[in-house]
Amino acid sequence: MKITIITPSYNQAHFLPKTIESVISQEGNFEIEYIIADGGSTDNSVEIIKKYDRLIKDKIYPIKCNNITYVWLSRKDKGQAAAINQGILKASGDIIAYLNSDDVYCAGTFGKVVEAFQTNRKRVWLTGYCRIIDEKGITIQKLITYYKNLWLRHYSYNKLCTTNFIAQPATFWRPLIHKKAGYFDEGLYYTFDYDFWLRTGKKFDPIVIKNYLANFRIHSQSKGCQGYERQFDDDLDIINRYSHNKYTRALHWLNNTLIKVVYKIIK
């Protein structure tokens, strides 16, 4: 199988090497297509991207899978969702995911994902556990992670409408999804992934892997740090697109309100 990973990147040079290496160091019986869509970074991100391009093409970097196709571009784009959609349109993999340029995959993730899709050939998307880490890679906010894992272990679409417990870095899907559920909404900033999970989940139940597949990084410049209150407000707007049930909306509002209180305490 071939896995396509898309990394939208903009001025994340400090974290980018760890992100790239977490993709190209994956080991197993599969191919990797890695597409990096840089939005015209003004730091040294492009130099870092080029460095790994050379290392792979010159066979200096140790490849532990069947093959790696490394593709990159750097130009101004229309935002994160647009960059991801452009990558999806270029993708040739049997499995697709996107990984932001400050997040990382765990070792062995791709092997687990391939095995799960091969075992469940009729399923079209998959999600698993995800740790939260800080700028130094130290695990933080364990209570939030436990809370999300608890919801995920008992997945249902109604629960997903109540709160967004899907961890984006730990989520993978087959290209078929885009014919059934469309692409990421480029008009959204904080919630385009939740919007996509809701559209997808309305049609298909995911495979749930009860293992840690990725680490989501929170730092001073990340969305998760700067705009979490706006993100939760936007979540509620999104759920109004997909549920007309007043009880579900009320539960979503209550859940988000409680989480915002917790975030204010721990941040």
Q: 88-114 pLDDT, tens per residue?
A: 999 999 999 999 999 999 999 999 999
At residue 247 the predicted structure's pLDDT band, cuts being 50, 70 and 90, is confident
Residue in this structure with the two tokens 């309305």, named with its chain if needed: 202
Sign of CA dihedral 144, 213, 224, 98: negative
Whole-number pLDDT of residue 219: 78
E-assigned strands of the chain? 2-9, 31-38, 67-74, 95-98, 104-105, 125-133, 139-140, 171-173, 207-217
Question: What does the pLDDT average to over 76-82?
Answer: 88
Q: What is the DSSP string of 66-97?
A: SEEEEEEEE---S-HHHHHHHHHHH---SEEE
For residue 80, what pLDDT band results from cuts at 50, 70 and 90? Answer: very high
Predicted local confidence at residue 225, as pLDDT = 53
Question: Could you tell me the pLDDT band of residue 125, with boundaries at 50, 70 and 90?
Answer: very high
| Contacts of 228 by beta carbon, 8 Å cutoff, 6+ apart | 260, 263, 267
> What is the rounded average pLDDT of the residues 218-228?
64
Question: Residue 257: pLDDT above 80?
Answer: no
Q: How far apart are CA 223 and CA 83, in angstroms?
A: 17
CATH code for the domain defined by 2-218: 3.90.550.10
Which has the higher per-residue pLDDT, 149 or 241?
149
DSSP designation for 13: T
For the chain, the average pLDDT equals: 91
Domain ranges of the chain: 2-218
Q: What is the mean pLDDT of residues 239-265?
A: 77
Q: What is the pLDDT of residue 221?
A: 65
What's the confidence (pLDDT) of residue 51?
Answer: 97
